[in-house]
Amino acid sequence: MGDVLDELDAWLDDNWDPDLSVRDWWELLGSAGWAAPALPSTAYGKDLSRNDALAVSRRIAERGALGAPGGLGMLLAAPTVATHGTPEQVERFVRTIVTGAHAWCQLFSEPGAGSDLAGLGSRAIEDGEEWVVNGQKVWTSGGHIADMGMLIARTNPEAPKHQGISWFAMDMRQPGHVDVRPLREMTGRALFSEVFMTDARVPDDAVIGGLNNGWAVANTTLAYERSGLGAGGSGAAALANAGTIAGDLDKRAGDFVRPRGPGTGGAGAMAAGSQKLFIELARRNGKLSDPSVRQALMKLHTLNELGRYQTLRLKAMKARGQDIPGAGNISKLSMSEIVRQSRDLGLAILGAQGTLHAYDSEARKVLDEATGLPESGFVTEMALFAQGPPIYGGTDQVQRNILGERVLGLPKEPNNDRVTPWSALPKNG
């Protein structure tokens, strides 16, 4: 690893310049393979392990340079296309992700298909060299700033439900055909949207992994989602937003380099740095000698340590060419538990003050002044957000079903949906 970091240091010496635009800096970083070094070297990566890739992103931050673009393009779309796409598709889609030129969203869930994702009803019908898509998606994180969508849609309704789905790379910028409507959350933010597709078009050469093979491709996406989220994968993302819609590409790269701290939100931040914050808050609120708070702090510390040892164990197994079956599911489940514990501990420390939450930066300033505890806004935001991680990427119950059926070999829930055509199955709603 030392060699890789030396190579990175030399590259940063030659290339980092805070006066570059975000676009120009990410173009350099991505095309050199430093934006997503865990990808294969044939797909703008450097074949590094996940841990080594995290060490690279930490070193970029330590050196005061702007980190790689974040978002679901990097976390999910790039590794999925790198795994299943043709070299031409890798060139077309992965390149624009690792250089931050395009932001992506994940068009999987529908009002009638969440846990039962394979039951989805969005239809794609062939029309010459294109596909015409109609349907609705929901809970689309980052949909409002996405240039491209990872779309799964039904291409053969007469096949059993898992066999008639295809995975498309769809251009979201189709006014009148792709309608993105933001949904406001109880945190006050609108991080996700509903997406309506009305005769939207996708070229045939944007089918990734082969026609009607979308379930296998989607499982690759979900595997990256579970392991990435479980490891707090989004935590190292740059503060600038990727893509043409967010409007950061033409800004000065150096202006986005600032220390990351409480307030950036999200589960990754919550899992990673919150123990020190809780200890400090407990000290200031006079709760550090409260036995229940001390016990909860130790429980949280233990869960985080277990997660760290699990990651180390997985790394050692992978180095020997082995794997831990269900590791991604286990790590996502433990992340959900850490998030819940953090929510309960944070609110226990804040007491009645935990009922106060500011919904915008102006209100936050007023609240911070009134309470004298600026960190409390971070705690209430993560407490409100804590309901999300046990749901997205497959709920806790679904993770346990997968572990039971695919890892422990328990009998599957009885149903006939592996043989019945999707068109003949009963539908939700």
Ligand X SMILES: Cc1cc2nc3c(=O)[nH]c(=O)nc-3n(C[C@H](O)[C@H](O)[C@H](O)COP(=O)(O)OP(=O)(O)OC[C@H]3O[C@@H](n4cnc5c(N)ncnc54)[C@H](O)[C@@H]3O)c2cc1C
Residue 392: CB minimum distance to ligand X, A = 4
The region of 136-144, 276-284, 288-296, 322-330 touching ligand X under the rule CB under 6 A is 136-144
- Nearest alpha-carbon partner for 27 in 35, 19, 18, 38: 35
State the binding string over 210-239 for ligand X (x if CB under 6 A, else -). ------------------------------
What part of residues 293-332 is at the interface with ligand X (CB under 6 A)?
Answer: none
Q: Judge whether 230 and 189 are in contact, CB under 8 Å.
A: no
Q: Judge whether 268 and 233 are in contact, CB under 8 Å.
A: yes
State the binding string over 354-393 for ligand X (x if CB under 6 A, else -). ----------------------------------x--xx-
Residue 158: CB minimum distance to ligand X, A = 24
422 sits near ligand X (criterion: CB under 6 A): no
Sign of CA dihedral 26, 29, 30, 34: negative
Nearer to ligand X, 60 or 145 (CB): 145
Single out the residue of 398, 399, 402, 422 in contact with ligand X (rule: CB under 6 A).
Answer: 398
Binding residues for ligand X, how many (CB under 6 A)? 18
Query: Taking the CB of residue 11, how many other CB atoms lie within 10 A of it?
Result: 16
Nearer to ligand X, 107 or 282 (CB): 107
Nearer to ligand X, 288 or 391 (CB): 391
State the binding string over 88-127 for ligand X (x if CB under 6 A, else -). -----------------xx-xx----xx------------
Nearer to ligand X, 45 or 79 (CB): 79
Single out the residue of 57, 83, 89, 140 in contact with ligand X (rule: CB under 6 A).
Answer: 140
Residue 222: CB minimum distance to ligand X, A = 9
397 sits near ligand X (criterion: CB under 6 A): yes
Nearer to ligand X, 57 or 399 (CB): 399
Single out the residue of 21, 134, 136, 141 in contact with ligand X (rule: CB under 6 A).
Answer: 141
Residue 170: CB minimum distance to ligand X, A = 13
| Residue 62 φ/ψ, nearest 5 degrees | -60, -35
The owner of tokens 């505890």 is 373
49 sits near ligand X (criterion: CB under 6 A): no
Nearer to ligand X, 21 or 234 (CB): 234
Distance CA 188, CA 358 (A): 8
Residue 251: CB minimum distance to ligand X, A = 25
Task: Indicate the residue whose CB is closest to ligand X.
Answer: 114
3-state SS of the chain is CHHHHHHHHHHHHHHCCCCCEHHHHHHHHHHCCCCCCCCCHHHCCCCCCHHHHHHHHHHHHHCCCCCCCCCHHHHHHHHHHHHHCCHHHHHHHHHHHHCCCCCEEEECCECCECCCHHHCCCEEEEECCEEEEEEEEEEEECHHHCCEEEEEEECCCCCEHHHCEEEEEEECCCCCCEEEEEECCCCCCCCEEEEEEEEEEEEHHHEECCCCCHHHHHHHHHHHHHHHHHCCHHHHCCCCCCCCCCCCCCCEHHHHCCCCCCCCCCHHHHHHHHHHHHHHHHHHCCCCCCHHHHHHHHHHHHHHHHHHHHHHHHHHHHHCCCCCCCHHHHHHHHHHHHHHHHHHHHHHHHHHHHHCCCCCHHHHHHHHHHHCCCHHHHHHHHHHHCCCCCCCCCCHHHHHHHHHHHHCCCCCCCCCCCCCEHHHCCCCC
139 sits near ligand X (criterion: CB under 6 A): yes
Residue 139: CB minimum distance to ligand X, A = 3
Nearer to ligand X, 49 or 136 (CB): 136
395 sits near ligand X (criterion: CB under 6 A): yes
Nearer to ligand X, 45 or 232 (CB): 232
Nearer to ligand X, 60 or 75 (CB): 75
What part of residues 254-293 is at the interface with ligand X (CB under 6 A)?
Answer: none
Residue 228: CB minimum distance to ligand X, A = 13
Residue 122: CB minimum distance to ligand X, A = 11
Distance CA 324, CA 406 (A): 12
* Contacts with ligand X, residue ranges (CB under 6 A): 105-106, 108-109, 114-115, 139-141, 192, 388, 391-392, 394-395, 397-398, 401
